[in-house]
């Protein structure tokens, strides 16, 4: 059975979040054991009686295998904070969500990300800045994070897509609910070129109480947050506050002192946020000029353990396929299939008599 089903089970229990999930893992070692624990053990693990009662109720009401099947049927995948695929930037922040629900794919390259947030009631100035900024970031290989809300968020996602880049939308509801509904088509584009992400179980409605916690994920996934336009009560300011707590850089786009939509951003600058006067400042301050080099290096690295083992085996000298098989202990089929794929990727080259050698950095990969 999939271990994720137990994470889903606890995710359904009111009163169990990141802190209590950590307590359960520390006490029981895994959530499967915790799921079947009795009240005495759960109390010893640190759960209060009220939460234990709620847990008992949930355990009696749901079938975990059915719950997992329903989620997968919706096209939603699950990543837990213990999985290797969990975003590293988010994993490092306090109270990171134990479970993420995802439509689309979150990739390693998404660690080079900047969040763009702002008011729902954007001006033509805010629209222009958000459009041009998101396109600029996309064209420089930087993933754009936002919340798919009306206004600046929507423009930021669309600008990233128009720039041929990746974008991630963090929702304040279940992923089976698109909010606002007019962004249905945009959400499909995001799934194809990034991901929809939520900490909320499918079926969770977009209630106002969900959006402040959602904002901590937006900032947690990014290396910096840019506030384009925000009035003095904008939710974008909550995202900026989370960013500062998470030791992220906060940029704000200056606006007219007479413009209500710029008062929040201007206040951030007055309080110490970095004024965004040139888009290139983001690359310089965050050293994000490395993204192209990072992608080149990633493309030249083995993509699984077998490739890594084969590359290490032939790194120092050319070897015949039979020698490779004997040294690694792998089957002929596995050795042959992976060597063929590695040759296509340019990691290795085949010489005469089924002998393979590694391609060094200074070799011409397509030398005749």
Whether residues 134 and 224 share a domain: the answer is yes
In a domain, 239, yes or no: yes
Indicate whether 315 and 272 sit together in one domain.
no
My answer on whether 284 and 313 are in the same domain is no
> Within a domain: residue 365?
no
Same domain, 289 and 309: no
Cβ–Cβ < 8 Å for 235, 208: no
Domain check: are 144 and 283 in the same one?
yes
In-domain check, residue 228: yes
In this structure, are 169 and 288 located in the same domain?
yes
**283 lies in the same domain as 315:** no
Domain boundary among 243, 261, 294: 294
Do residues 308 and 275 both lie within one domain? no
Cβ–Cβ under 8 Å, residues 87 and 195: no
Question: Considering the domain boundaries, does residue 332 fall inside one?
Answer: yes
The confidence band for 345, taking pLDDT boundaries of 50, 70 and 90, is low
| Percentage of residues of the chain with pLDDT beyond 90 | 56
* 9, part of any domain: yes
Same domain, 187 and 322: no
**For the chain, how many structural domains are there in total?**
3
- Grade residue 307 by pLDDT with cuts at 50, 70 and 90: confident
Task: Decide: residue 93, CB within 10 A, 0-12 exposed, 13-18 middle, 19+ buried.
Answer: buried
H or E stretch covering 249: strand 249-252
Q: Which CATH number characterizes residue 254's domain?
A: 3.40.50.450
The model's pLDDT over 9-41, given as tens digits with 9 standing for 90+, comes to: 999 999 998 899 999 999 999 999 999 999 999
- Note whether 333 and 242 are same-domain residues: no
> Is residue 367's pLDDT more than 50?
no
The per-residue pLDDT for range 175-224, each reduced to its tens digit, is 999 999 999 999 999 999 999 999 999 999 998 899 989 999 999 999 99
Q: Is 203 left (phi over 0), alpha (psi -120 to 50) or beta?
A: left
Kindly write down the DSSP assignment for every residue of 65-122, as one continuous string. Answer: HHHHHHHHHTT-EEEETTSTTS-HHHHTSTT--SEEEEEE---GGGGSEEEEE--SS-
Q: Quote the tokens at residue 71.
A: 């989620």
CATH number at residue 47: 1.10.150.20
Asked if residue 81 belongs to a domain, the reply is no
**For 110-134, how does the pLDDT look when each residue is reduced to its tens digit (9 = 90+)?**
988 999 999 888 899 999 999 999 9
Quote the domain boundaries for residue 259. 103-294
For residue 97, tell me if it sits in a domain.
no
Of 294, 326, 347, the one marking the end of a domain is 294
Kindly report the length of the chain: 368
User: Which range (140-154, 173-187, 204-218, 274-288) has the least confidence?
Assistant: 274-288
Does 367 reside within a domain? no
Q: Give mean pLDDT, residues 248-263.
A: 89
pTM: 0.77
d(CA 291, CA 142): 7
Verify that 324 and 279 share a domain, yes or no: no
> What CATH number is given to the structural domain containing 315?
1.10.10.10
Q: What is the rounded distance in angstroms from the CA atom of residue 80 to the CA atom of residue 28?
A: 17
| Pair 167, 264 in one domain | yes
User: Which residue, of 251, 275, 294, is where some domain finishes?
Assistant: 294
């Amino acid at each position: 059975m999939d271990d994720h089903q137990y994470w889903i089970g606890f995710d359904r229990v009111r009163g169990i979040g990141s802190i209590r999930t950590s307590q359960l893992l520390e006490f029981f070692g895994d959530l499967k054991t915790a799921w079947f624990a009795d009240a005495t053990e759960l109390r010893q693990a640190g759960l209060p009686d009220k939460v234990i009662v709620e847990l008992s109720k949930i355990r009696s009401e749901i079938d975990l295998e059915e719950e997992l099947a329903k989620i997968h049927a919706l096209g939603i995948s699950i990543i837990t904070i213990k999985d290797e695929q969990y975003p590293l930037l988010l994993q490092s922040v306090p109270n990171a969500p134990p479970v993420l629900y995802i439509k689309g794919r979150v990739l390693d390259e998404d660690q080079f990300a900047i969040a763009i947030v702002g008011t729902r009631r954007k001006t033509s100035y805010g629209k222009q800045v958000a459009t041009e900024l998101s396109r600029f970031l996309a064209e420089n290989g930087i993933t754009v994070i936002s919340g798919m809300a009306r206004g600046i968020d929507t423009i930021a996602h669309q600008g990233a897509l128009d720039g041929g880049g990746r974008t991630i939308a963090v929702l304040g509801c279940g992923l089976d609910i698109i909010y606002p509904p007019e962004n249905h088509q945009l959400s499909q584009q995001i799934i194809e070129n990034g991901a929809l992400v939520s900490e909320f179980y499918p079926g969770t409605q977009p209630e106002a109480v969900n959006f402040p916690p959602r904002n901590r994920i937006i900032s947690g996934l990014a290396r910096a947050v840019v506030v384009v336009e925000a009035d003095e009560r904008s939710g974008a300011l909550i995202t900026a506050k989370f960013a500062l707590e998470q030791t992220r850089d906060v940029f704000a786009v200056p606006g007219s002192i007479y413009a209500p939509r710029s008062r929040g951003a201007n206040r951030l600058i007055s309080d110490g946020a970095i004024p965004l006067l040139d888009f290139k400042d983001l690359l310089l301050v965050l050293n994000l000029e490395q993204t192209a080099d990072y992608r080149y290096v990633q493309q030249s690295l083995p993509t699984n353990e077998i490739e890594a083992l084969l590359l290490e085996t032939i790194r120092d000298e050319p070897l015949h396929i039979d020698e490779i098989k004997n040294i690694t202990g792998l089957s002929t089929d596995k050795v042959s299939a992976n060597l063929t794929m590695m040759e296509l990727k340019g990691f290795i080259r085949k010489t005469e008599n089924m002998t393979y050698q590694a391609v060094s950095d200074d070799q011409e990969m397509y030398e005749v």
